[in-house]
Structures are given as C-alpha cells and as structure tokens.
Structure 1
Amino acid sequence: MSALEFNILNLKPIYLTGEKYLLSGEIHVDSSSYPEANELSGSIIVDIWQEEGAFVDMINDVELVSSANGPSKIAVYQYTLWTNLGDELVFVPRDTRNGSDKSNFEKVLFYPRSQHVAVKTDGCQPAIPAFVGRPGQYIQGSVMPAIPGVDIKIIAQNDSSNGLLKKGDLVLQTLTGSDGLFLGGPLYDDTEYYVEASKIGYHLKALGDYSFSCQKLSQIVVHIHAGEGAEKSLPSVLLSLSGEDGYRNNAITSPGEAFNFDNLFPGSFFLRPLMKEYSFLPAAQAIELESGEVKEVTFVAHRVAYSVLGTVTSLSGQPREGISLEARSLSKGYYEETTTDSSGKYRLRGLLPNTSYSIKVVVKEDSGSQSRIERASPSFVNIQVGFTDIHDLDFVVFDQPETTIITGHVEGIGLDKLHPHLEVQIRSMSEPFKIESIIPLPMTYFFEVQNLPKGRYLVQLLSGLSSRTHKFKSNIVEVDLEKQTQIHVGPLSYEVEENHQKQDLTPAPAFPLIVGVLVIAVFASMPRLRDAYQWAVGFAPSGMTTVAPKKDIRKLTVRKRTY
C-alpha cells in the first residue's frame, strides 16, 4: 500500500472510487431440529456460480458467529465475498460430509437451495437473504427375505421447488445390502416420496411404504430339434404358453436357438409349439413349476408340408413389395396366401405333398400398392407339390398406365341415320350437373376420352333431334377410374321413336270456325241492316213508332254522307 501525504496548509478534497464491493450472508441452523448445529464450521461450503451456469469460486471459511447455546437456539454462520460492480451471482451452500450412513449423522440441506444476487449500485451492498439449514430426510426400508442387489428407486410424489423436482422424477437410486436393507437420502422435506423395488428374476410386492416381500421367479427353457424331413436350421417357431389366472404369453424363437420364458410364478403351465409345414412331438406339454425352478422342455419338429418360393418384380426388374399371391388347389379345396417383402420375395407355405396347386398374383381392392396392377406374367402357374420346396417361381407385374382412358362403342337401330345427331356425354357421379366431357359420336361409332381426373363418372348418349318429333332414350353406364384407369364402355344403346301427332287441317274441324266468324259478323252489322231495310221500304214496323224521330235523323245523316 502506498503512503498518502496531506498538506494541511493547502487543503483539497479527496475523491474515493470503490473497486470492490463486499457481499455478506448468513446461514441459520436450528439446534432443536439438529443438535449438532454448532459443529458445522468446517463442513459448510458456499459455491458461487454465474447466472449463465459457469462456476466462479467457493467460500471455504464459513465461520460460526453466533452459537445455538443462547435463548434463540439458532446457530448463525456467516460468509463474505468481494465482488465487482455489475456481477450477477448465484450462492449455493452445501454440506460436504458424506451422509449416506444415517447411523453416524444426518446431512444438512439448505432452504432455499440457492440465492441470486446482483451488484448494481455503487455503494454498500445489502445482505444476502439468509439460508436455513435443516437435516435432510432419509428413507430406510427392507426386502424380505433378505436379498442383496435389489434395485431401489425413490421417486418424487409431488413437485419440489428446493429439490428442483417435478412429480414422478427419479430422485435417488440405490441397492439393498446383504441384509436386505436400503437407505436413501438426504431428501428435501418440501415434498413426499414413494419407493419402487425390482430385481430381474424376482417378484417384489410392497408390504408397506418402504418394505417389500420378494419371491424368486421360475423359468422354462425350450429346445426345438429338427426331426424327419426338417431343415437343419429350423426357422422361427411360435411358442404359446398359458397358465393359471388367465396367463398368456406368445413368443417367437430365433432360428436354431433355445428360448427362455423368464419371470414365471410357481404353478401349472401348458406349452404348445406352432409352425406352418411342421408337426411337433410332443404336440404340447404340461409343466409344473416350483418357486425359483428352471425347467427345460424339448420338442422335435417333423416336416409335413412344403413351400413355393420366388420373386415378384416390375417390367424394369425392380422388386415389388406388398404384392399378394395365392396357391389354390381346386381339386381338394386347399388355399394359402402370402405377400412379398421389401426385396420382392415371397414364400407360400403349407402346401401339402402329392397335391396340385395353381399359383398366381392376386389384386386386392383394399391394397393401395396392388390397385395399380393391371396384370401379371405369367397369369398363373400350375404345380405339383412333392416332398421338397419349389424355388424360383417368379412373376412380372404390369402397372396400369397413369393416363385415364374411357373407350366405348354405340349400337342401335337406324344408327346410320341418327349418327350425325348423336353425342357422348360424361358427367361426374358426385356432381351430376357437372359435365366433364361431351364429344360428337365418330363415324366409326367408337369413341375415346382421355386424361379425365381419377374418379367415378356417368356415360350416356345425347340426341340433337327435336323432342317434338322424336323421343330419345339412352342407357347410362357408371365407370370408376379410381379402381381402373382404362375402361371400355359398351355397347351404349338407345331407343328412339318418331312422334306422329301432327296438326293436319281438315274440313271437319275448320267448319265450326268459319260458321262462328260469320255469326259474329252478322251480329255486329245487325243495326245497320235494320236501318237500311227500313229506309228501303219506307215505313217502320209495328211497335217502332217511338223511335221515328231517330229514323228521320238517320236518313238525313245518310244523305249528307252521300254528298
């Protein structure tokens, strides 16, 4: 440290700048819950971390500043740290003693688990909020009878903010000792815990919260040997094992290897092997198991049926996966089927000796990959099965073209005369008013429509003849271009009748019309005829004297019109 000199005759202000800032905090331990509260000076360490998770330092000199002997019964430990302005730190205290053996002592845990501190102000820093130390919880349990090496898992029953746990998180894992006992801890006391116990080959059952009963389980070892006509390396065999209380277990063996049924309870079991083309001696076996017993069972497989093997490819030689094939014996009614694997290979199993079969590719409508197949070559193969497998029976499949084509032809009476008036109409079945295509009927009476979207359609004929003179009716054909992209429709047929109800003029219906017109004309001219008659004869008829003046007026009027 350099010396400072002051001139008292020339006083000047002194400016001090802080470069380090002291942080201090306390840890409180209640002696009522932990009697050794005053004895932790050399055991508590405070780890210091950055907010980002990088380790900074540790404080080893945590000292006891107030013992628990006073009225408060709380031991107070203090720690300090010089920091820089702007530091953001996390303080995490821990008990460094090995507290796995509760018989010696209980390890102390701290609440909260950590404290976050930021040095933001230039000046004295506030104290770090205090930690409280409490003895951690320990779970002690047992397995009976005493078995070492039982896997014990302690799991959080609820969330724990101090333990940084979520419900169901694994907190601690340990094993039982030779005495069958286990101890797990220390654990935070702000949640509950439960315990799971397990060991391969044993059944453990909870008797209480932390105690378990243990039963050694049994085992069945299955050997399958090749018998008469069987392959040296037997394929996989299905083993069906049933037992008491509805127990069922179906398993598949690996070729040429023994199979183990593990973790079986004592009791009665029934085992049966199954595989196509093979029979077994014995066909099944009853087994009685004692606790912890290992029993070996042997079956001998005999070949009773055979296979046809081959490959299905496209015309380009690419293997086709998921293609269905069948073997059918028409004479005896036997039937087997299979599908190709990713390499295009297939195996039709279970074909009986001295039997004829027809082998072919079949198209199933509910299979997406097969729905595109138009045909296979050869379309079928007839075989006679003996006492060996038949190999290399291959097929080539041809896909339907992606372009949709509807073809068809028209037949009917008088087609040569009607042909110029006929059209072919194609409508959507889902939208009957939507016309997808309409074309005139070609002179060959054969039509073709391409590149329609895949879907279902209605095909029919339309006539351009007037409905007043002809009655025309066409049959309607449904087609499905989703199932089959090329469809021939035919024949499209029709019915046509000439309408003979013509409006011919004849005297009979015209005569009443003529008479009616004449009658109307007569009645319309009756007043004029009457006046002309009276003028001609020079007198009025009897009974008409009252209208004489009008008659004279009419005469004068007529005469004026003549000039």
Structure 2
Amino acid sequence: MGKNGPVMNGIKVLLNNNIEVLTDENGKFLFDAVKFGNHILKPSAEDVQFDELKVQLTMSTTDLIVKPSNYKVCFFVSIDSASGINIPWTINIIGTKYRHEVQTGSTGSGCIFLKPDDYKASIYISPQDEEAGIRFGPSEHVFTVESQPIKKLTFSQFLGEIHGIIQCLESCRTLTVSLRPSKGNYGSPRTTTATQGKFIFREVVPAEYLLSVDKEEWCWKEPTILVVVNAKNVSAKFEQTGFRLTLNASHRTTLNYVTNKGHTGKLEVSEGTSRECVSAPGKYVFTPASCHKFGSAPLTWDTSSLQLLSLIASHHQVTGTLISREPGPFSITVKSEQNSEAVIGPLIASHSDKSVYPFEIWLENGETVTLIPSSSSNLFQYSPSSFTLKVADECMFSVVQFEAERALFIKGHVKPALKGVTIKVIGDGEELSFTTNAEGFFVAGPLDKSQSYNVVAEKVGYIMNPPSQRIEVEGRDMSTLKMSFNAYKLAEIIVKITDENGEPLEGVLVSTSGGKDYRQNSLTEADGTYIFQSLMPSDYFLRPMMKEYNFNPPSQMVEVQGGATVNVEIKGVRVAYSIFGHTTSLSGEPESDVMVEALGIGSHCSGLQEEALSDSQGNFRIRGLTPNCDYKIRLKKGEGINSHVDRSLPKERDVHVSGTDYKGLVITVMRPFLQMDVSVIVDAEPQFVSTLTAELYRDDSLDSPVHSVAIGNHPFFMLPPMIMDNRTYSIQLLSSLSQNHYEYIIKPVSFVANSSFIHMTIPFKPNLKMVDAEISRSTVFGLLFFVFVILIILNYSKVQPFVLQAIETYYNKRPNNNGKSSTKVISQSQIPCDTAYIEPVNVRKRMKVRKT
C-alpha cells in the first residue's frame, strides 16, 4: 500500500472475510500459503475507505498496490455560546462531479468520506438564523482531497465591532450609548459608555441594529442610527444639534428668546406638553408674544439644568371697539363682581378709521366683569350702555361694539334759589336723580335722546310749581333743553327733647296730629330732635311717649302759620330704670329670641312685671323697673314661649333696682335635648335572627322607610339617632324565610318620638309547615299501579301467556259494526307489534266438512 501516495501502516486487511493482517511500517501486508484462485480483500481504516478488491491468484500474480477510494474530511462549526443558538448545522460540499451534505452534531463537529477531487464547502444558514445575525468566516472553504484525510476545516461565527464618535456642542461628558436590534427578538439591548466622544461595541452578532445616545434632553441630527453588521466592522457618528426644551403650556403661544451670548429666535409652542430644540448653549430669557399672559413673564431657562418650563395662563386678552362720529376723550370702566373698578383710557382712535376706538383688557379665567363706556366731558350716550361678560379660558376678540352719540341734557333752575332740591328724571321705567346747587341750578344728563321723560322737582317742606314737566324728545334733533320750577315753602315743627341733665333723648315716640286728617308718629334721632315737615297752616297736638320717662309738658297744642318754622322743646324726667343683660349658650354663643321677665317681689312690688326679648346678639333690656324694688329675673314661661329653650343657669336671679340702670346680667340658657335613641330586642330563636331586617317608617310616609337595619346574628339592635318631633313611627320586621316552608305573621310596632329613649321587644315566632300525612286515592292508585308494573317486569316469562290470551279474547269479543259481538280468530300479524305472539296450546281449530 502506498505507491504514489503516503505509506499507510496499521491498516487492517481482511482476506475472504476470514484471515486478518495489519500493514507494517512500510505499508505492506502478507498472507502466506494462499491457494490459487479467486479471493476477496477488504482493507479498512478509521480515516480512509477502501473499495473491496477481487483478486485472482495465479503463478504470475505480483505484489498488489492498494489505494484508498475515499478520505475522511472533518468540519467544525464554532459559534458564540452567548447567541443562544446550538443546533446541528448543514454543510454543503460541492465537488467537480458530486455534491454532498454533512450535518454537525451537538458539539459542532461533522465528518464525511470524500473521493479525491477539488471541493467547496459552505454552511447553510436558514432565514431565521440569518435574521438573527448568524454569519461565519470564512464564508466557504476551498480544499482538495488527494491522498490524505483532512482533520478539521473550521467555520467560526463572525462577531463584528461598531465604532462611533459623538460630536457635542460643548465638551462631551460621559454619555451612555445603547445598541438594540432593529427587528425580531434576537439578542438583547446593550449599552456602553462613550468617553471623550468615542465609543465601541465589540463581539456584535451580524444583524441590523439601532444606535442611540441616552441623552433625551439633547437634540441630535439623527437621534437613532441604523447600522448593519454583516461581514465587516462598521462605524457611526452622532451630531448634537441643540438642547431640548420641555414646555407645559396651557395655551398656544409664541416665545421670543434671547441668550446671554446674543442668540435670538422664537418658538411656536402648542397647548399641552411639548418639546422644542434650541441650538445654542447658555442662559435663555423667553418672552411670550400672545393674547395670554403667563404668570411672571419673562421666563428664564438654562441649558445646564434643563428644567421643565411651565406656561400657565393667568390672564386672557379681551378686545372691543367704541364707535363715535364725534371725537371725544372716551374711556372704558371695568367693574368686577366685587364692585372694584378699573378705568381704561383715554382711548386712542384707529389710524385707519378715526371714528373707531379699539380697546383691550386683560382678565382672569372665569372672571365676570361689566364694561361701561364713558367720557370725561359726559356729553355722550352709548348703545349698549354697558356689557357684562364672563371670561372663558381663551382670548376673546371683538366681544362688544359700543356706539357713542351726543346725549341729551336738561338744564334748569329753581326759584327762589334753593339748594338741595331733588330733580328726578323718569323715562322708560328708569329714574335718575340730580340735585340743585346753592344757586338753585341743575344739569340732568346725559340722557337718551330716543326717549321721552317726566321731570319732577322735590324737597321736603316745599311745594313745587309745576310739580312735574313732560319732555318729548323723540324725532327732535336737540342736545339741550331748559326748564324752571317755582318753590313754595311749607310750615314745619322742630321738636327737641332732652333729659333733666340737658342731654338729648333718642328714641322718644312723638305723636303729632292736626290739620286736615294729618297724623304722624315718629322717633327722635340721636340729637333728640325730629322735624315734622310740609305742614299746612293749622293747630297740631304733640304728645311725647317713652317708657321710664315723664315729660314736661306731657302734651301741648301748637299753632302753625303758613311757611313758618315752630320750635318745641320738651324735658324728660327719668322715673324708672332698666336691666341690661345678655343670653348665652354653654359654648358662649349668643342665644336670640329668648324671653326674659322681671317679677317684682316684696309687699310693695309684688304686682310688677316687665319683660324683654333678646336680639340676634343675645342682648336684652328690660325697661320700666320701679326704683327701690327687688325683682326676680327668670325665663318667661307659657305656651309657645321659649319653646326652643329647656332651662337657664341659674334658674332665677334676684336684682335690686336703685336709682340707676342695672348692667352686666348674664343668663346661660340650655336648649332641650332633642335626640331620641331607640333600642329593640327581637324575641326569636337564634337561627332565625340573621334572616331579619328592621325598617323604620314614619306615619306620613309609609311607602318609603326612613332607616333600614340588618339585624345580624344578635337579637339586640339600635336604630340610628332620631329627633324628638312628636311624630308616630313604626318598626316593621322583614324575614328572608320562605313562607312555603314556614308560617309567620309580623305585625308592625308603633311608638311616638317624644322622649329621649325608648326600648321595645318584638316577637318573631315562625312555625315549620307540617307535611299532610293523608294520602289521596289517586296517590294510592298510582302507587299500586307502579308496584304492579314492576311485578310484571320481574315475572314476565310467567305472565306472558295470560297477557296474550287476554289480548286475543279482547279482539275476538269486541262488537262488530252492527253492534253485535262476533267471534274472530286473529292472526299473528294482528297482534300489536310490541307484543310477542305465542301460539296457545289449548286452542283447537274447528274444521268444516265441505259438501260435494
């Protein structure tokens, strides 16, 4: 073995499947004492294959040259364990004459025997593996099989590298770069740290990837870069284009900005949360240019901190116009709901149209204001005269258009000159008032020229002539009217009342009567005076009245001449005194509408009684108490009196009245306890208690319960607190027990809510319904029939002949069509199909003799 090829030693050679030898170090083998004839040689080895040789041994046979027919070629597929792929690989082998396939094992190795030839070997990669980024190097092996086996041809998985740089607007700090597959579920995301703007990913499985820098607050030319790793390393470059500004705006707006380095620009900001990019580093100052105002503008922002910028509108722009054919110093008064006012103006006419006066105001969201046009010259009237609006959460443009035109003015005077005359101008349900000056002149206006008016002049103590004047203005082109009134003074009585010390007495009731059906009762004012005005000439009777005082004179007759002023002075003398006090609750709150009385005690004062009602602040004053008397102070009793008060602390108090008022009396009152508690015990077996629910009804609304209480497992329960309102209530128990199985009747229990506590017991005694022991005749018949059928089924073979005989007898004996019974022999086919037919053994047929 081995001529023209390497010497192969240790090869096993089998002769005729019987004798075995091994080749020596020279590749030779020898079989001794072999007979002449035909023989079969079978060489075999581990790494080569031989064809079986048929040898005819003769005298002329020389040495045999044996060569392998196939040589072993082995492949190894090396793949990264981190990829998670560990499957058999198919290797395609293409020769000049033949094609072969070999599949690797779980270790990645696979071998095949090939004939000498030139070959190309490559790995088959499925679409799924290719999508997962599986690549091998080399992509194919080119080899020649000559005279030696090939031990190992290796395919190694290709793992690439991704190199990249990051270009920053300022110095690049330490940044994190992410790498993730662009599609599919192959592989997991990876990150690396870029230092000085450079980064690298090693051992990257071939595939498509997305690269990104984990710096969302920066803007990038390409925030994500698609890279494809196939059979070589790749590179990528990130370029920062700016800084990301995050805004939260309540409304759309434009932001103009300037930086500390002089960069300017503007941003269009949408409503809600948005992100914008600014290209220059540094500090920014943003100024909103919008019909909204955003808090404390301008706003500052720094690229080194990148904080959220909030734009919450605090005010909205509202615009309108005023139109006037005549120029004037117009203004707009803005009146809020709280009656605060702000004036906008003077308004400036539009450059394009001098008759148009635009105006704008800034108002808060939801604010309600009234716009009132006016002019400092007060010569105009306006349509509409005012406009009320509620600001929406948006800008409001051209909400109103006021039209101004010269108004009507009424000028006049009162003769003789009289100050303080009220001039009332009444028109179209509206009344305006004006006053004359010291010379008696007045100016009423501005007034609407489209209306007609009544003008009335009034002053207490005077009669005007004429009392009123009618002005018809509609259809007349005028702006000023003139008129006059004549005033005639009436008589008056000035009453002044003082006490014995000369101090004015306030609140004295002065009754005056006289003249023609004249009567008036009035109280003196703080200065102790009252003026009875507009009196006709006559005699008048005056009488002052006030508890605790006697007056001098007690009454008098006063003569009044036409237009005269009569002064009357009256002295009051104190003859009784008062107790000043205060009613309060336990918590210190004032108690109002409490009736307090003072009862005289002692032999000389026992018949005296006075009372007073406390006001909203709890203060009271008991007047008319006799000096040198003792009084018992207490709450007044009686039906309908102090019904909201239970008692007082102390119950009574003794007070001695001397020659002065008694002050500082405090009475603490207690309100009645109006809460009522109701407790109930259900008299029932324990197993029935949990089935019960209690419902409380009021007598005037029996269709809907006031309260509903689930009793639970304990028979005792309490209703929610009630008010003692003296109404009738009832408690109704409801049970979930089925009345098909239990008999029970639950009657409602009534009570009146007039006490603080009440307890009651409600019985519940259900009885289990008894099953009727008597069995009806139909039930007995049904039971017997059922037993009979069971016996027939169990003894079918014994009763069958009797059943058949009964059926035969029935059919033979039943009536014919003439109503007569007939005898008929039935055949087997006439028996019902569900009955087995058996020929009766005792039936004999009667034979008829045929006559011939």
TM-score, structure 1 as length reference? 0.49
Give the greater-gyration-radius structure (CA): 2
Higher helix share: 1
Greater relative CO, 1 or 2 (CA 8 Å, sep 6+)? 1
TM-score, normalised relative to structure 2: 0.35
